[in-house]
Amino acid sequence: MKRKVSILEHEWVPKHEVMSESEVEELLRKYGIGKDQLPRIKVTDPVIKEIGAKEGDVVKITRRSKTAGRSVYYRLVVAR
Amino acid sequence: MTLKRIKSVRFGILGPTEIRKMSVSEIITPDTYDEDGFPIDLGLMSQKLGVIDPGLRCKTCGGRMVECPGHFGHIELAYPVIHIGFVKKIHKVLSATCRSCGRVMLDESERMRFIEEFDKIKRTGGDIEDFENVVKDVFRAAAKSECPFCGERQLRIRFEKPASYYEVDEEGGERRLMPTDVRARLERIPDEDVRLLGMDPENARPEWMVLTVLPVPPVTARPSITLETGQRSEDDLTHKLVDILRINQRLIQNKDAGAPQLIIEDLWELLQYHVATFLDNEIPGVPPARHRSGRPLKGIAQRLKGKEGRFRGSLSGKRVNFSARTVISPDPNISIDEVGVPETIAKELTVTVYVTPRNIEDMRETVRRGPRHPGANYVRRPDGRKLKVTEKNCESLAAELDVGWRVERHLRDGDIVLFNRQPSLHRLSIMAHYVRVMPGRTFRLNPAVCPPYNADFDGDEMNLHVLQTEEARGEAKILMEVQANIISPRFGRPIIGGLHDHITGMFILTRGFKRFSRDEVLRILRGIEISEIPPPAGYDESGKPFWTGKQIFSVILPPDLNANFRAKFCDKCYERGEACKEDKCDRDSYVIIRNGELLRGVIDDKALGSFKGALIERIYKKYGPSAAKEFINKFTKLAINIITQYGFSYGINDSDLPKEAKDYITEEVLREAIERVKSLQEAYEMGELEPLPGRTEEETLELLVMQELGSARDGAGEVASRYLDIENPAVLMAKSGARGSMLNLTQMSACVGQQSIRGERIKRGYQNRTLPHFRQGDLSAEAHGFVKSSFKDGLTPIEYFFHAAGGREALVDTAVRTSQSGYFQRRLINALQDLSVRYDGTVREARGIIVQFNYGDDGVDPSKSYYERYIDEIVEEVLANHESSDESQVMRESEAEAKAKAEAEAGVEVEAADAQEMMRW
């Protein structure tokens, strides 16, 4: 019997959220960068498929961190 | 000249027109010089190709030797030849294009699809890798048996090493495609089809992969050497070009004479060989072209390739001036931030000094000394003339010396230099030291700075570089001085600290309350700059004053230092669920320092050792790098004085155990263990052994046996340590953390224990047994590498064999590991080399793409952070300062700041709340 499990529920998968347009704008302004200077993630990535982000979206990733307790990371969704 | 910025770099293939265009002369004759030794025009050493002799001028540009960069020539080849670097590409292109119409064999829909894909990559800014993946698909799709454009049946193209192509028909008949045929086919490919193949027709037409014209590198790229005999020796490339020209000429003659095709083809093949080996003389399957002496010639590829090649050898790594290298040896009497430099080296290395009104007298004296040590080698006049200072002219030069001159003076005491030991794996492998000119031939190094360099004195050599500009010296002083690098950025603790003898010495001094007479105290404190000794701790029976070891140590502590921590000597009662007795510790291993006074506890590895150094860390953080440096200098001297005074040695008898202990180990501990192994074995043979979950019976047996024998050795060690007390020097060293462990000791005096290969008992050897001394299938301890003896007693021949087997594995492992980790390191550094932390705390690579949004998630530099390690002490200190609030306000504030910072960085919420509470109060 096959059972469908959402990878988002897995212990090791940190929280991924698609950011709104205004949030992205603020983020880019904060770091003084363009979208192309963000770290990337493929649309084919299982998490991206799961949360349904599209090419050009920016996802906000909240991770547990050994040093800071909680850390935030942003990645641009790209085609390849 | 105006400065220009490189916007982009484009690679392509040189085509015949371009080669002719950049050529200044056609080269025709294979002869280089005439009878008078004069270069022949239209020859390989033509003066139009550049100058390699001083004094001559270039016939093309008129420049002198260094000014003229050299100019290319060209050779018109009688017949085209395949460029050996493109053989694979040519094969692929031939297979993907039609043999008759030259189109890439993709039908319209395929074309559209691929063009779409290329566009998409361009639009979304994909990299070369993405691009090449699509190209790969194009070649796969274009391998058709019939051309979709002209309907021509295609034949398979067979490539034969090194550079021939054959067309194979259905019956297996073959026809050789000569380079002319290949070129003709490549010429037929239209430009838009070339783009589909991933090539740029503007810069790399496919037919340019077949050479019709060969560029001749300028003579400056292949200079000839004049030997002492006056004979000229030509560069390898020149030799190769001579070969090419010879064959080319013969080919032309034969062609003009209408020689038979067979002869032409033979010569053609030879031309192909020479051109190929000119480009690359290490082609697989081709015998390398050799020099007369039998040495293989260096082709163009060989000049570029590999470690010594142009890229890794000449561009990424270069040789430098103002550097020296020699063997290192220890000198505990110099400071850790100094380096002893041999006088002979100091006289060779120079520092340029500009003469000013303020230093002119000093410089006069320096020049007057000339080649004698604190002298000078050269002076440079304001007009730029450089004059050598010699024994003869030094007096007159000194008199002539004036403001505006420059003096290249010898290296002197106090000069700042960079000191380095390879492999330079971290930034601490290069640090700034101050020079101390000394007699001898070796660099002298304080042994306490060995850990960051990973140096020892078994023949290690190190490099020294003299800084030449004021900016460099300033930067080195601030960032690279040894004291600035006491705390390692890797783990935030001191990497420089006491070594073996320092730890042992300090342990002996500070353990318990040893008494020292006035004379002893003075002798121990010799050479340490202190002006007075504290009042005596008391008076003995005869009324003479005495001092304790703890008092002596306190002399070198800063007067307001406070600390609490557990020493290495600690027995770790708290791990066994007992409360730490702290100041009432019966091993005296809880260190308490109040106002610069060591009240309780013993000073050992934990306090002073490199990689631990709790005390060094506290002093560094509270009083700064220089204070920490001074502290290290002082305690190492102090420790050496003590160990010299007290005497410390280890002899063969020190690993002896009393007879009853030995008997107990062999008769009880080991015998019982072996007995138990035997019963395990019997249980296994009877099939009564209960297998552990997930394991077979065999595995279970092995596991249990290993456990049993492991605890047998520990048991033996336990017995041994009962009989060896802290008076035993090996125990002292192990417990203080100076060197060695209790395990080493156990192996020396009690029992070496189980030998293992790949984490298992030794089981290789003969059929079902390790050695012929045992029965087949014997699973006992002895038969699988358990060594009952101790090193002191000596091993039996069988034990010796097993020990050697295990030892070999350890040796091989280390050899393999070092080479592997070295390569990993290289790859990692290549990948990360241009990442940097920017002022906004982000980590970005060269293009500004963010890698981390906040360095290490918390934005903390481990070498500048306190963590939560001794937050209690800082809080305590702040409180103490608060109570005596008349004390300097400034002091208090800086303390509070330090505390707040420490808490922020540690992220300890509870304590942070407390601190805030206190601040309000």
pLDDT tens per residue, range B644-672: 988 999 999 898 899 989 899 988 899 99
Chain A environment of B844 (Cβ under 8 Å): 37
How large is the angle between the packed helices B742-749 and B697-723, nearest 10 degrees? 90
Chain A environment of B860 (Cβ under 8 Å): 67
d(CA B412, CA B423): 28
Query: Which of B130, B842, B851, B857 would best serve as a mutation to test chain A binding (most A beta carbons within 10 A)?
Result: B857
Average pLDDT over residues B565-587: 82
Query: According to the model, what pLDDT value does residue B369 have?
Result: 92
d(CA B133, CA B129): 6
Nearest CB among A36, A39, A65 relative to B125 is that of A36
Continuous H helices in B423-512? 450-453, 470-475, 500-510
DSSP 8-state class, residue B769: B
Chain B environment of A69 (Cβ under 8 Å): 907
Distance of CA B105 to the CA centre of its chain: 51
pLDDT at position B885 over 70: no
Average pLDDT over residues A40-67: 91
Model confidence at B896, pLDDT cuts 50, 70, 90, reads low
pLDDT tens per residue, range B59-114: 888 888 888 889 999 999 999 999 999 999 999 999 889 888 888 888 888 888 88
Chain A environment of B856 (Cβ under 8 Å): 67-68
Query: According to the model, what pLDDT value does residue B316 have?
Result: 82
Query: According to the model, what pLDDT value does residue B911 have?
Result: 39
Model confidence at B471, pLDDT cuts 50, 70, 90, reads very high
Listed residue (B198, B182, B201, B179) closest to B190, CA to CA = B201
Q: How many CB atoms lie within 10 A of CB B114?
A: 20
Nearest CB among A39, A67, A79 relative to B857 is that of A67
Query: According to the model, what pLDDT value does residue B218 have?
Result: 93
Model confidence at B898, pLDDT cuts 50, 70, 90, reads low
A39 and B849 within 8 Å at the Cβ level: the answer is yes
pLDDT at position A24 over 80: yes
Query: Which of B853, B861, B903, B909 would best serve as a mutation to test chain A binding (most A beta carbons within 10 A)?
Result: B853
Chain A environment of B840 (Cβ under 8 Å): 31-32
d(CA B453, CA B787): 38
Listed residue (B471, B461, B473) closest to B433, CA to CA = B473
Please answer whether residues B866 and B621 qualify as being in contact, where contact means their C-beta atoms are separated by less than 8 angstroms.
yes
From B127-141, B261-275, B299-313, B664-678, the region with the lowest mean pLDDT: B127-141
Chain B environment of A65 (Cβ under 8 Å): 857-858
Query: Which of B850, B851, B860, B868 would best serve as a mutation to test chain A binding (most A beta carbons within 10 A)?
Result: B850
- Of B901 and B801, the structure prediction assigns the larger pLDDT to B801
pLDDT at position B320 over 60: yes
Element (H, E) at B418: strand B416-420
Amino acid residing at B553: F
What does pLDDT average to over chain B? 88
Model confidence at B869, pLDDT cuts 50, 70, 90, reads low
Distance of CA B592 to the CA centre of its chain: 41
pLDDT tens per residue, range B155-166: 888 898 888 899
Q: For the CA atoms of B211, B68, B202, B79, what is the dihedral angle to 10 degrees? A: -10
pLDDT at position B900 over 60: no
d(CA B83, CA B80): 9
Model confidence at B919, pLDDT cuts 50, 70, 90, reads very low
B850 and A69 within 8 Å at the Cβ level: the answer is no
B446 to chain A, closest Cα gap in Å: 35
User: What tokens were used for B155?
Assistant: 């034949």
Helices and strands (H, E) in chain B, number of each type: 29, 30
Chain B environment of A64 (Cβ under 8 Å): none
B617 to chain A, closest Cα gap in Å: 21
User: What tokens were used for B38?
Assistant: 């004069």
d(CA B696, CA B579): 43
A37 and B126 within 8 Å at the Cβ level: the answer is no
Task: Please give the interface size between A and B, counted as residue pairs whose CB atoms are below 8 Å apart.
Answer: 46
Query: According to the model, what pLDDT value does residue B46 have?
Result: 86
Average pLDDT over residues B626-641: 94
pLDDT at position B489 over 80: yes
Express as a percent the part of chain B with pLDDT over 70: 95
Exposure pattern of B158-169 as b/e (b: 16+ CB <10 Å)?
Answer: ebeebbbbebee
Model confidence at B868, pLDDT cuts 50, 70, 90, reads low
In order of B290, B394, B470, the CA distances from B364 in angstroms are 59, 9, 21
pLDDT tens per residue, range B216-266: 999 999 988 888 887 778 889 999 999 999 999 999 999 888 888 888 898
From A25-39, B167-181, B324-338, B495-509, the region with the lowest mean pLDDT: B167-181
How large is the angle between the packed helices B742-749 and B729-736, nearest 10 degrees? 160
Query: According to the model, what pLDDT value does residue B883 have?
Result: 66
A1 to chain B, closest Cα gap in Å: 25
What is the widest separation between alpha-carbon atoms in chain B? 123
Backbone phi and psi for residue B340, each to the nearest 5 degrees, phi listed first: -80, 125
Q: How many CB atoms lie within 10 A of CB B745?
A: 22
Listed residue (B225, B315, B235, B219) closest to B278, CA to CA = B235
Element (H, E) at B909: helix B909-920
pLDDT at position B910 over 70: no
pLDDT tens per residue, range B791-838: 999 999 999 999 999 999 999 998 888 888 888 888 998 899 999 999
B860 and A72 within 8 Å at the Cβ level: the answer is no
- Terminus-to-terminus CA distance in chain B, angstroms? 68
Average pLDDT over residues B448-471: 96
| Minimal-distance CA residue of chain B relative to A62 | B857
User: What tokens were used for B19?
Assistant: 């080669």
pLDDT at position B564 over 80: yes
Average pLDDT over residues B878-889: 63
DSSP sequence for B806-855:
HHHHHHHHHHHHHHHHHHHHHHHHHHHTT-EE-TTS-EE-TT--EEESST
User: What tokens were used for B35?
Assistant: 């009878």
Q: Is B491 on the interface with A (CB under 8 A)?
A: no
